Amino acid sequence: MDDGHFLADFSCQESPTFLGNDSEVVDENTSDNNVDIYYDLALQYQHVKILIEKEREFGFKKDEDDQSLRNANWFEFKDNRLEAIAWILRNGAAHGFQFRTAYLSITYFDLFLSKRSFKGDQTTWLRTLSVACLSLAAKMEEQRSPLLSEYKVEDCIIEWRWINQMELAVLATLEWRLDSITPFPFIDYFITILKLNQESPSDTKYNRIEGFLMYLTQVTNLMQHRPSVLAAAATIMAFEHQLTRAGLEVKINSIPALKFLEIEEVFSIYRLLQDKEDKPPEISRTKSCPAGSDSARETVTS
């Protein structure tokens, strides 16, 4: 494939709506780096308020017209998207990336598909997009970001300069804002304010929440749901997995500070997780899960 043809296939047509305006950068790792915020509910709440505003700015769950475009792209690429997620997880595990690095790269992937359209060979440019998104996420989250040549691409031939071109396309589409909000900074807050665990949550619970979040990347369009909603559903499910809609509503409405959550949306995600847990065990993609996440091995299934 010559460069001209490949780059012609990369002629992305921008959708009319861009991501949010410039705003103060929020460090999602605040709760990890500052011990005080875990014990100070007021500080957690102030941090969450900033995150809620930023997830709106980034374009999660926009108006119906915008959603129709996102749905069209998501359904068109659904099968290839699952293959892309498997590749991201597999390579993230090979490089020892954090769980959130893989999730962030899938967020970039969905953000990009929600705003761009393509022509040409899907396998080639979707794999190129996968590498570009994982590479960018690693630069944001990991202490060491691998060279592009270190990522293994088995199912098609990709020149590394094409990935450089795709990285620039992703950066342009995201307006160089790579600090996208994910569900992870909400987890400690929900555990604390909902009093889901009177003691410090165990690693097993955190792993279970992470496994649920990775499962949700496979069955939902991340752009259709605010990260706070996904975090709420996954966190509650990890501790209480048999709630009815009424029970979930009582639990959330009992905390005035959680009024930003939409009950129907949280319950729809919670039900997805309940349905998943009720199904017979399936063969796990153990090679596709981030290293060190036992729950991901248990919950990310074919």
Tell me the pLDDT of the chain (302 aa) as tens digits.
444 444 444 444 433 333 334 433 444 444 444 445 555 777 877 888 888 888 877 767 655 545 554 555 656 677 788 988 999 999 999 999 998 999 999 999 988 888 877 666 677 788 889 999 999 999 999 988 888 888 887 766 777 788 888 999 999 988 888 888 899 999 988 988 887 766 556 678 888 999 999 999 999 888 889 999 999 999 999 999 899 999 999 999 988 888 889 999 999 999 999 998 877 555 444 333 333 333 333 333 33
Distance CA 177, CA 233 (A): 27
Tell me how many helices (H) and strands (E) the chain has.
15, 2
Domains in the chain: ranges and CATH: 63-179 (1.10.472.10), 184-299 (no CATH)
DSSP-assigned letters across all residues of 41-107: HHHHHHHHHHHHHHHHHTTSS--HHHHHHHHHHHHHTHHHHHHHHHHHHHHHHHTT--HHHHHHHHH
Report the DSSP beta bridge partners of residue 54.
none
Distance CA 277, CA 237 (A): 10
Greatest pairwise CA separation for the chain in angstroms:
61
Distance CA 24, CA 106 (A): 23
And the tokens for 93? 């595990």
Q: At 260, phi and psi to the nearest 5?
A: -70, -15
Show the CA angle centred on residue 164, arms to residues 158 and 170, nearest 5°.
110
Residue that the structure tokens 């899938």 belong to: 106
For the beta carbon of residue 148, count every other beta carbon within 10 angstroms. 18
And the tokens for 165? 């071109």
Q: By C-alpha distance, which of 183, 185, 204 is closest to 103?
A: 183
Q: Is the Cβ–Cβ distance between 213 and 194 less than 8 Å? A: no
Q: At 34, phi and psi to the nearest 5?
A: -115, 105
pTM for this one?
0.75
